Amino acid sequence: MRTSKRRIIFHIDMNSFYASVEMANNPSLKGKPLAIAGNVEERKGIVITSSYEARAKGVKTTMPLWQAKRLCPELIVKPPQFELYRNASRTIFELLQDYSPLVEPVSIDEAYLDITTALQNQEPPIKTAQRLQQQLKQKLDLPCSIGIAPNKFLAKMASDMKKPMGITVLRKREIQQTLWPLDVGEMHGVGSKTKEKLNGIGIAAIGDLARFDRKLIKQKMGNIGEKLWDRANGIDDRAVDPEAWSDFKSIGSSTTLPKDIDTEPKLNEVLYYLAESVSPKLRRKKVLTQNVQLTIRYGNRKTITRSRKLDNPIQTVEELYTAAKFLLIAHWDGKPVRLLGITAMDLVQKKAAVKQLDLFSYQDDTQDEKLYNTIEKLKDKYGDTVIKKGHHEN
DNA sequence: TCTGGGGTCCTAGGACCC
DNA sequence: TCTGGGGTCCTAGGACCC
């Protein structure tokens, strides 16, 4: 759905969400430097989120914990409690529904809200935003920033401008003043690689991009360049889509191992554990997968993905494990592994899947045969030993 | 002393078909 | 004699976001 009608879009961004939820849950943490981080002993000790008090000392997301503690020795560190955050998130989105049915959650702590029609000129948008912000603070004890703009991109940029507990209105006629002076790397959608590229053609600020020749930027940067040019000029007609959240594309699970592993039986154990994690997620969402992807990150951090389309949709632990194991046998080069992951892609609704299963069940043999042929080829390539290791548990 | 885990979207090349 | 072009599917990788 596209619209040329003038719209009023909110972007709601919860401030340091995980840390704030912890504080709401345990008020004695308030006002203290707090970091949510994984286990150092298991090499997962990096900062996931930190409170503003910690940020003031230079603590940043993805920073190794030892580094964070060096910057902020009094840092309080808590392991993540994702159930807690998910519950808070659910409550927030429910509350947003009261303001407009057009709520599009974009992550656990962020949402777009189209309040164009919901507002009906009853009150100025900024008043609505203030009510919303106050309600989230009072009911859940959680701070947020809100951006108000005529489209998603500008609303997103606006919510970033005042933190925590800010409300920012960004009108299109104001972008030269407020948006264009910002570094182009601040743009949503511009990461380090794109920033480098843009800098390389003389674009440093968002305004430089906005004033660049549109044809030329397409020539130099491809489609992404054109899209960014539009955004920089305040053009973005993407609709707020409440359904976007429900049609997810993939479900996965991965883990960085406490130590690098270089034996196949141990890797298989990890795969089984991952399959046990992915399978219930599929079941809960009532979907099956027709394409399983294995992720291997080696000790040197080189990461590869290998996937295979399946003839029949699958869901159980054993099925996922088997599919992942074959991918491992086929593609693991024997070097130490740092991380393993299984991702279920090409998801199909269970109802549709059952129909397909009936239709194609005769292909069961074909699939087994294909796997058998793969193994034979691998034997030719690597000899017997690699293959035998893969069957240790049979 | 480094760098998690959950995702989305886009691109590009090769296979295959007409 | 030796050469086409379009479309779709599949796989792998990269960039980005929270």
Q: What is the pLDDT of residue A247?
A: 84
Instruction: Report if CB A44 to strand B is under 7 Å.
Output: yes
The pLDDT value recorded for residue A373 is 47
> Taking all residues of chain A, what is their mean pLDDT, rounded to a whole number?
90
Radius of gyration of chain A (CA): 25
Residues near A364 by beta carbon (within 8 Å), at least 6 away in sequence? A312
The CA–CA distances, whole Å, from A383 to A378, A388, A391 equal: 7, 10, 15
At A355 the pLDDT is 57
Q: How confident is the model at residue A386 (pLDDT cuts 50, 70, 90)?
A: very low
Share of chain A above pLDDT 90, in %: 85
The more confidently predicted of residues A64 and A356 is: A64
Say if residue A65's pLDDT is above 90: yes
A110 touches strand C (CB under 7 A): yes
Task: Please check whether strand C approaches the CB of A227 to within 7 Å.
Answer: no
Stronger pLDDT, A227 or A365, i.e. the higher one: A227
CB A264 within 8 A of CB A390: yes
Top mean-pLDDT range of A250-254, A357-361, A373-377: A250-254
The confidence score (pLDDT) of residue A5 equals 76
Instruction: Establish whether the CB of A238 is closer than 7 Å to any nucleic acid atom in strand B.
Output: no
Taking only the tens place, the pLDDT of each residue in A12-61 is: 999 999 999 999 999 999 999 999 999 999 999 999 999 999 999 999 99
Cis preceding-peptide flag for A125 (omega within 30 of 0): no
3-state secondary structure of A177: helix
Q: Which residues lie across from A302 on neighbouring strands?
A: none
Q: Where do the H-state alpha helices sit in A290-383?
A: 317-331, 350-360, 364-382
Task: Quote the tokens at residue A80.
Answer: 């993540």
pLDDT reported for residue A216: 95
| Listed residue (A293, A393, A313) closest to A359, CA to CA | A313
Confidence band for A221, pLDDT divided at 50, 70 and 90? very high
Nucleotides on strand C lying under 7 Å from protein C-beta = 9-18
Closest residue to B7 (CA, C1′) = A250
Cβ of A130 < 7 Å from strand B? no
pLDDT at A379 over 90: no
Residue A357: its pLDDT value, please? 52
Span A120-178, pLDDT tens digits: 777 999 999 999 999 999 999 999 999 999 999 999 999 999 999 999 999 999 999 99
Phi and psi torsions of A163, nearest 5°: -140, 145
Band of pLDDT at residue A83, cut at 50, 70 and 90: very high
Question: Residue A301 CB closer than 7 angstroms to strand B?
Answer: yes
Beta-strand (E) ranges in A233-377?
251-261, 287-298, 303-314, 337-349
The strand B neighbours among A residues 166-225, by Cβ under 7 Å, are 222-224
- A373 CA to C2 C1' distance (Å): 35
The angle formed by the CA atoms of residues A17, A23 and A26, to the nearest 5 degrees, is 145
Measured CA to C1', the nucleotide nearest A309 is C10
Give the integer Cα–Cα distance in Å for A28 and A168.
30
A222-246: burial string, b at 16+ Cβ within 10 Å, e else: eeebebbbebbbbebeebbebeeee
pLDDT at A394: 26
CA-nearest of A21, A14, A25 to A109 is: A14
Strand B bases within 7 angstroms of protein beta carbons: 1-12
- pLDDT value at position A318? 98
Give the model confidence (pLDDT) of A318-367 as tens digits.
999 999 999 999 999 999 999 999 999 999 998 776 655 555 444 444 44
Provide the Cα torsion A373, A375, A378, A380; round to 10°: -70
Structure tokens at A264: 């196949």
The closest nt to A223, taking CA to C1', is B10
Segment A262-272, tens digit of pLDDT:
999 999 999 99
Question: Is any atom of strand C within 7 angstroms of residue A306's beta carbon?
Answer: yes
Q: What pTM, to 2 d.p., does this model score? A: 0.88
Q: Using a pLDDT cut of 70, give the percent of chain A over it.
A: 88
Strand C-proximal residues of A, range 183-212, CB below 7 A, are 187-195
